[in-house]
Amino acid sequence: MITTTIRVRYAETDQMGVAYYANHFVWFEVARGAFCRARGIDYIAMEADGLYLPIMEAKCRYKTPARYDDELTVAVHVSRLTKRTVHFNYTVMRDGTLIAEGETTQMLVDAKGTPRAFPDDIAARFDSEQAC
């Protein structure tokens, strides 16, 4: 599991000062980026090799509001890895309070959108059993 810290920016809130729901998906992406960096997954190099990981499904369960200037911890881990897909789970916390839980599924595709199997070296880095 990899964690990253995010502070809710004013621009991410609505008129009531509550973080707008869609921003949770942006925070998930920030956590995925931290995960990839920690695991040595070079997404820029993957794209240069013609491999992409589009989101196929995304879910979020909102538990309690996040507000302007809250410091949040977003944790991410791979819950399942198949030959062509990687499934991430996320938790967003503020001082021990669960803000949201989510998940995304991404599929490895080439530049034409054709599904591809993960190269062994990349699959090993996504492996949920691998230590960080």
Separation in Å, CA 4 to CA 12, 28, 92 = 18, 10, 10
> Distance between CA atoms of 33 and 1, rounded to whole angstroms?
13
For residue range 20-68, what is the model confidence (pLDDT) as tens digits?
Answer: 999 999 999 999 999 999 999 999 999 999 999 999 999 999 999 999 9
For residue range 65-109, what is the model confidence (pLDDT) as tens digits?
Answer: 999 999 999 999 999 999 999 999 999 999 999 999 999 999 999
Cβ neighbours of residue 29 under 8 Å, at least 6 residues apart? none
- Over range 4-23, report the average pLDDT: 95
Domain boundaries, the chain: 2-126
Catalytic residue among 14, 49, 110, 127: 14
pLDDT (0 to 100) of residue 127: 82
Q: Which two tokens stand for residue 60?
A: 């979020």
CATH number 3.10.129.10 given to 2-126: yes
pLDDT (0 to 100) of residue 128: 56
CB 28, CB 104: distance < 8 Å: yes
Residue 70: active-site member: no
First to last CA, the chain: 8
For residue range 105-131, what is the model confidence (pLDDT) as tens digits?
Answer: 999 999 999 999 999 999 999 985 544
